[in-house]
């Protein structure tokens, strides 16, 4: 695999291919970043973009993690003091999960977002942006169904952060894509470059395979989960023997979340997967690629129950260091 293929592995969208190819050719000294609204506990959505950051570190990029405390505040996630405190805990969980501490710059949003120059640049972007565009950019990110003025300011700050953190490559889940498109369109108005972006896929709701997995609605997996919690959630997960399930009776698209988690979490971090089975059921199966596992599930060689057993074990191993960190933080 060449550098471009490695950098874009498992991403849903590359903006633009030409720009990412140029970065892949000379990654040294280039900065890639993700911003997160601080929450007390990492969950499987944070971990998906974190996987990409780890791969980018391996490829030679400098990695910046923005702990977006002001953004969380604007999005109604609590008092400023509460959010600040969770930001520190979240940083430690990222390192426990596998981000190389010595190669990662953690930045708190409020450390630069209240500077005079920043605020004036923000107002310049406000002049350039219609309320309806800001609202559309936030539709997949905002909690609650009434858009506030705070939520309209939010995407403009996210755009500006890309400039102030001197970022070459912005990473985010697909729910961030409209904010990034807004940034690409409006930043030139303040003489800044349009950012290059990579968007990671969204994992479907675990129990239905419809829509996206979310901590606020439905079942998610987090570092707070004990192995028994993971087992229970995975056992109830939707897992037909195909990566391309039929839509629901109401016509909603469905995905296979069990396969998605193998593809986007397990294979990128573990490289290969061993499914343990008693000899009377054919013995252990070893997969070196995600595709081989998907093919076996589809052909019936791999039973969904065995796939779920293996997924539970690997997910548990994945979150164990972070879970230990949370235990220490609470003591
Ligand atoms: C991501 C978030 C907040 C601010 C950012 C600034 C620059 C780049 C990325 C950023 C959080 C993100 C979320 N919008 O939904 O968690």
The sign of the torsion formed by the CA atoms of 70, 72, 74, 77 equals negative
Q: Is 93 annotated as a binding residue?
A: no
ipTM of this complex prediction, to 2 decimal places = 0.92
Can you tell me the distance from the alpha carbon of 300 to that of 156, in angstroms, rounded to the nearest whole number?
49
Residue ranges of domains in the chain? 3-200, 227-330
Give the residue, out of 39, 158, 173, 183, with the most ligand 1 atoms within 8 A of its beta carbon, to mutate for a pocket test: 158
Q: Is 164 annotated as a binding residue?
A: no
Q: How many CB atoms lie within 10 A of CB 19?
A: 17
Give the residue, out of 45, 139, 172, 178, with the most ligand 1 atoms within 8 A of its beta carbon, to mutate for a pocket test: 172
Q: What SS3 state is found at 65?
A: strand
Q: For strands 62-67 and 31-36, give the pairing.
A: parallel
**Ligand 1 pocket check for 308: Cβ under 6 Å:** no
What letter does residue 256 receive in the DSSP assignment?
Answer: -
* Cα–ligand 1 centroid distance for 187 (angstroms): 16
* Cα–ligand 1 centroid distance for 252 (angstroms): 28
**Minimum CA distance residue for ligand 1 atom 10:** 35
Residue 215's pLDDT is what? 76
pLDDT digits (tens, 9 = 90+) for 182-203: 999 999 999 999 999 999 999 9
Q: Using 50, 70 and 90 to split pLDDT, how confident is the model at 312?
A: very high
**Ligand 1 pocket check for 71: Cβ under 6 Å:** yes
Residues 6 or more apart in contact with residue 46 via CB below 8 angstroms: 36, 94
CATH 3.40.50.2300 fits 3-200, yes or no: no
Query: What are the CA-CA distances from residue 155 to residues 129, 199, 212 (Å)?
Result: 10, 16, 21
Domain 227-330 classification at class level: mainly alpha
Residue % of the chain over a pLDDT of 90:
89
- Which residue has 């005079």 as its token pair? 116
Closest CA to 222 of 234, 230, 212: 230
pLDDT digits (tens, 9 = 90+) for 30-42: 999 999 999 888 9
Report the run of H or E that residue 32 belongs to, with start and end.
strand 31-36
Whole-prediction pTM value?
A: 0.94
pLDDT digits (tens, 9 = 90+) for 61-93: 999 999 999 999 999 999 999 999 999 999 999
pLDDT digits (tens, 9 = 90+) for 105-129: 999 999 999 999 999 999 999 999 9
**Ligand 1 pocket check for 154: Cβ under 6 Å:** no
**Minimum CA distance residue for ligand 1 atom 1:** 35
Q: Is 154 annotated as a binding residue?
A: yes
């Amino acid at each position: 695999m060449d550098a471009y293929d490695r950098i874009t592995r498992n991403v849903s969208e590359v903006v633009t291919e030409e720009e990412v190819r140029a970065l892949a050719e000379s990654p040294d000294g280039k900065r890639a970043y993700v911003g997160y609204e601080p929450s007390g506990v990492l969950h499987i959505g944070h971990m998906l973009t974190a996987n990409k950051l780890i791969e980018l570190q391996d490829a030679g990029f400098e990695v910046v993690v923005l702990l977006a405390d002001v953004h969380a505040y604007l999005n109604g996630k609590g008092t400023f003091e509460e959010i600040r405190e969770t930001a520190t805990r979240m940083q430690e969980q990222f390192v426990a999960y596998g981000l190389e501490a010595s190669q990662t710059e953690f930045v708190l949003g409020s450390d630069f977002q209240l500077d005079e120059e920043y605020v004036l640049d923000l107002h310049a972007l406000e002049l350039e942006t219609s309320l309806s565009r800001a609202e559309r950019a936030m539709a997949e990110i905002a909690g609650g169904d009434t858009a506030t003025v705070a939520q309209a300011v939010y995407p403009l700050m996210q755009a500006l952060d890309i400039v102030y953190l001197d970022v070459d490559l912005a990473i985010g889940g697909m729910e961030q894509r409209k904010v990034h498109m807004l940034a690409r369109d409006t930043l030139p108005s303040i003489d800044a470059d349009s950012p290059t972006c990579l968007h990671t896929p969204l994992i479907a709701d675990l129990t239905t395979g419809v829509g996206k997995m979310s901590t606020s609605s439905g079942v998610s997996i987090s570092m707070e989960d004990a192995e028994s919690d993971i087992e229970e959630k995975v056992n109830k997960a939707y897992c037909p023997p195909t990566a391309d399930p039929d839509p629901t009776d109401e016509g909603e698209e469905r995905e296979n979340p069990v396969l998605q988690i193998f593809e986007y979490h397990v294979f990128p971090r573990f490289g290969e997967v061993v499914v343990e089975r008693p000899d009377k059921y054919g013995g252990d199966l070893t997969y070196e690629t995600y595709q081989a596992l998907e093919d076996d599930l589809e052909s019936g060689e791999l039973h969904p129950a065995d796939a779920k057993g293996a997924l539970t074990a690997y997910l548990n191993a994945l979150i164990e260091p972070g879970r230990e960190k949370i235990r220490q933080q609470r003591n």
